[in-house]
Structure 1
Amino acid sequence: MKISSHMCYNCAMTYKYFEDYETSLSGFEAAELLDPDLNGLEQAFNLYEILEGINSFLQELNGSPTSSLPTVESLASSLASVDLNPTYEKATVNRLIEGPNLSKAVTGKVLFSVKNPSEIPIYYVVCDSDRTCFVITVYGVRSTAIKEEDQVTLLDPFYHIFDFESRGKHYQFKSLRMDFLEQLRVNGEIVSPEHVIHRSMYPQLKEA
């Protein structure tokens, strides 16, 4: 069966939103070969830039106690208690399992955001009470919704450890994704309406 360039691009975009980055990169590069007008190569370069930013920040934060980046120790120690539905168990990243973690709540401090040329989603580097740093992927909100040093809580988070190579570069980091705004609390509160774009993740697909 012949694969159309639009199908290849849309599959790559869908894989990106579901954070299968390795497959997404291959798809964008394949779409570029089929139809350069789709800008698949630009999408691939943008994703490489995001991954490089996430990977380098987290490698430095988790691997060096003398990092020049924001002080993890001070931010982690400033985490406040969060009132949650009693059905939720408070957890740190290292206590999660791969995939969805129902009835679990992870709270952390935001160190900074990672530049994303396409602006959606927004990636934040966060540290939890165990001083473990990871990235969270947030859909459906404006960049003003979450700021540096805000405290965020993710309910029922999807957890994944990335560990793959692409173009000779090794990417290895921990990630939490929330797909619906109901899963997010900022400083103990739900996200206010003025910061909401939409309430869930929607891939931006190309029409054939």
Structure 2
Amino acid sequence: MNYRADIQILRGISVVLVVLFHLGFSSIKSGFLGVDVFFVISGFLMAILYKKDDITGFYLRRAKRLLPAYYATIFFTLIFSYFLTTPNETVQVSKQALYAVPFLSNIGFWFQDSYFSNSHFNPLLHLWSLGVEIQFYLIVPLLYWFFTKLKINYWLTMIVSLALCFIMVEFSPKTSFFLVPFRLWEFLIGYGAAHFLTNQGNV
């Protein structure tokens, strides 16, 4: 795929929103919504980049792009925590790393109070969204197969995921926040946009 300046601009805006939110700017109370934009962008890109006759290449390209920096972050965070934090905090970081290595950070943090809780030492908290993205990547071939079997399957999947998300917000906000089934509709918005707006997608 050719370089897309519009996508890079959206990514930049999303990063700024998230950073300002975490820095505590009172006017950016919903800055974490930048992550939602990232999920939509990921769905858009996966619809264009995935080719059913090159599944291995698809995953190799994703791995080369993400995994070196991903595992370096985990490794150096563990090293620094060992030398710079208390034993209790080091144990917390080690547990987070155990979830992060197999791309399950979002599930590990789901077991805690919530994303916005300050009761835990979570230097690897930012990896939760990568966990969600990588889990989505893993099911892209299945989604492709399911959507091409019957066109309405795309719409049904997105509607069901969105409905489940709204329902779950009432019972367990952290579940709708961290787990893929309740985030899938965001990826599928981008996935559908690639098809309906560019004719390059695989819906």
Per residue, is there more helix in 1 or in 2?
2
Per residue, is there more strand in 1 or in 2?
1
Q: Structure with the greater relative contact order (CA < 8 A, sep ≥ 6): 1 or 2? A: 2
Normalized against structure 1, the TM-score is what?
Answer: 0.25
Normalized against structure 2, the TM-score is what?
Answer: 0.26
